[in-house]
Structure 1
Amino acid sequence: MHYAYPPRKDSAPPRFVPARQSRFINLRRSRAKLFAVAGLFFIALFYLLTRGGGSRHSTRHAPSGKPPVVIVTVIDEEDHYSAHYLESVRENRIQYAEKHGYKTFFPKVGDYELKGAPYSWTKVVAMRHALTKFPDATYIWYLDQDSYIMNPALKVEDHVMKPSRLEAMMIRDHSVVPPDSIIKTFAHLKGQDVDLVLTQDKDGLSVGSFLLRNGEWAEFFLETWFDPIYRSYNFQKAEMHALEHIVQWHPTILSKLALVPQGTINAYSKSAKGEEYRPGDLVIRFAECEKKSTKACEDEARPFAQTWMAAFRNA
């Protein structure tokens, strides 16, 4: 067996250093090492923020506002709605968008890989897709297929998202999840700081109609909402309960959220669980009809289809 040679000893004896001076020298050396390590850490952090992991945020494209709004509606062709009804939903969005210079986006259930999660999660992926597809849009509006836009005169950026309008109507210091959640909406939130607009019904937050301001925060929000952990929790109401969870546990999300009266963007046709539609409201939703049947939804929607078509012709 071979052994390494021992290190060669220096022929000169080591210089004698008093114990007190030795401790001083060691302390000075340890401090120098500490400062060196700290300096390397901050240099690395600066690099990551400016050249590495933070580069996506620092160079993100600023939306130009063309189009001002994109309307996203996920179409479920597998849910036994008639082709006539689904076409009326598409035409409703298209006519409204053309009037105001907006765009529409109609992804389908099944377009995205959800890895076993319920199909209702499609809306979250569709919103992420819309941010990529329309990088210059100012706002993305998600609106379920169980609804019609009823008032063609109302523009989203004025009727809802204008800062002074938001400040006048947002519901402040209010339980996020009714009736008595201890987590409440911010009392002093400014309209210009709002990036997410939601409504509540008596069950909780509604995800059938909501507005999102395009930007870095929107990307963060959707990535958080679609986290695999939340999709795997098996929440009773899937993405809706996941949203309520993250709103209550993430102040970064709550700080950008405004609750507005339900009739602003999410009035119900008839329901004991929420605010009912009144003529002049922007939207009507047939929110509970699917519990009966898709035919019940179409029957409930039929008279309102005639109403919106007449309103758009006369606009």
Structure 2
Amino acid sequence: MHFALPPRKASHPLPYARKPPPPPNAQRNRRQLQILGYVTLSVLTFLLVLKYFWSSGRNVEDGPSEIEGRQDIVIVTVFNNDTMSDEYMRMIRSNRDHYASRHGYHNFYTNTAFYADLVEPSPSSWSLIPALRHALTVYPRSTFFWSLSADALITTPSLSLEEHILQPLESLMHKDVPVVPPDSVIHTFSRIKPSRTRLVISQDANNLADTSFIVRNTPPSPTSSDSWAQYFLDAWFDPLYRAYAFQKAQTHALEHLVQWHPTILAKLVLIDQRRMNSYNFASPPSRDPVTRVARSHDSMWQEGDLVVNFKGCRDDEKRNCQEELREYFSKWERDIVKLDTSPVDHAQTPRPERAVVEGKT
């Protein structure tokens, strides 16, 4: 007879024999291995915790609060022989030669024609990037490179970059603010030290003001392989960005780069515009698209500012770059006569070098 279900097993277990207990030596060995494992795990955990706190401390306090002492600085100027007269370029060179001589800096002069094969068919304004890369090659051991537009004049030559920007950089930083004005969702880092800074730039009312910025270079050495400056310039000059045809060319490309590449953003510092890139006109107030509140931006040059920039003078037919320059150049000539009568410690001011790169005719 077949059952629909298998028969139920007996509720009484079979009388299997118990396993004999291990000998005393085996129990002792097992206990010793367990203790050894616990001790090893505790030591490793302690070392990991110690390493974590040590690394955190270094990340917060690494490096001094100031960039101390004299620095090896190069001023990079890119002329455009097609749009600038010889007289205009002479005034700019005279201004920067005097400033570099006073503070022991180097001048690197070049022009857009020299990089035409690399830049075309993109706008010639892209030339400032290979020009900076070129300057890094000519001065590989210099620590700071100041890219300053040829449409700008140094108006207070007594101010060195060290005392005006680099040494007080900790107090000048704009932390946790939108990277691109007015309301970018990407903000600058709130815990960055001058020792970790590689790019110092300002903002105007609408964009990053790339007509005046400072790039920090780490000279090659057997103990350091930091090539951040080269990486930054190569990333900025990416053919994809140049082919994309941004409305404001390299300016919009830079804004994209600093917002979406943490490697760049982590080394970026924003400071007040008038600290290094004042304009010779007032920025009109803008209105917040959400709150409709009017906002002003302090950009207009005032007495004592380091630089005056004639931004946009070549894009407006009603403006004349050379006449705007001449007004401030005449004032600068009067100022340096007074300045040069004051004693200068030439023992502390090495004679600067001057590199001139002639472009193609």
TM-score (norm 2): 0.66
**Where does 1:31-70 land on structure 2 (aligned, <5 Å)?**
68-70=72-74
Task: Work out the CA distance in 1 between the residues paired with 2:316 and 2:86.
Answer: 19
Structure-2 residue corresponding to 1:120: 125
Structure-1 residue corresponding to 2:173: 170
Pair 1:295–1:211, CA change in 2 (3 A): same
How far apart are residue 288 of structure 1 and its match? Answer: 2.4
User: Which residue of 181, 185, 189 maps to 1:182?
Assistant: 185
Structure-1 residue corresponding to 2:91: 88
Q: In the alignment, is the contact (CA less than 8 A) between 2:145 and 2:215 conserved in 1? A: yes
- Local SS of the residue matching 1:232: helix
Task: Work out the CA distance in 2 between the residues paired with 1:258 and 1:181.
Answer: 15
How far apart are residue 222 of structure 1 and its match? Answer: 0.5
* Identity rate, percent: 42
- Local SS of the residue matching 2:180: coil
Structure-2 residue corresponding to 1:57: none
How far apart are residue 115 of structure 1 and its match? Answer: 3.9
- Local SS of the residue matching 1:277: coil
Q: In the alignment, is the contact (CA less than 8 A) between 1:75 and 1:109 conserved in 2? A: yes
Pair 1:84–1:115, CA change in 2 (3 A): closer
1:96-154: CA deviations, max 9, x gaps? 00111111111111101214221000000100000000112111000011110011111
How far apart are residue 199 of structure 1 and its match? Answer: 0.6
Structure-1 residue corresponding to 2:140: 135
Task: Work out the CA distance in 2 between the residues paired with 1:249 and 1:149.
Answer: 33
**Where does 1:100-115 land on structure 2 (aligned, <5 Å)?**
100-112=103-115, 113-115=118-120
How far apart are residue 278 of structure 1 and its match? Answer: 1.0
Q: Over the residues paired in the alignment, what is the CA RMSD in angstroms?
A: 1.7
Give the aligned residue type for 1:120.
Answer: S
2:166 aligned with 1:161: yes
Structure-2 residue corresponding to 1:76: 80
Pairs aligned (count)? 248
Q: Which has the larger radius of gyration?
A: 2
Moved over 4 A (4+): none
Task: Work out the CA distance in 2 between the residues paired with 1:91 and 1:294.
Answer: 27
2:240 aligned with 1:236: no
Pair 1:142–1:135, CA change in 2 (3 A): same
2:177 aligned with 1:195: no
1:36-57: CA deviations, max 9, x gaps? xxxxxxxxxxxxxxxxxxxxxx
- Structure 1: unaligned runs, 5 residues or longer: 1-64
2:227 aligned with 1:222: no
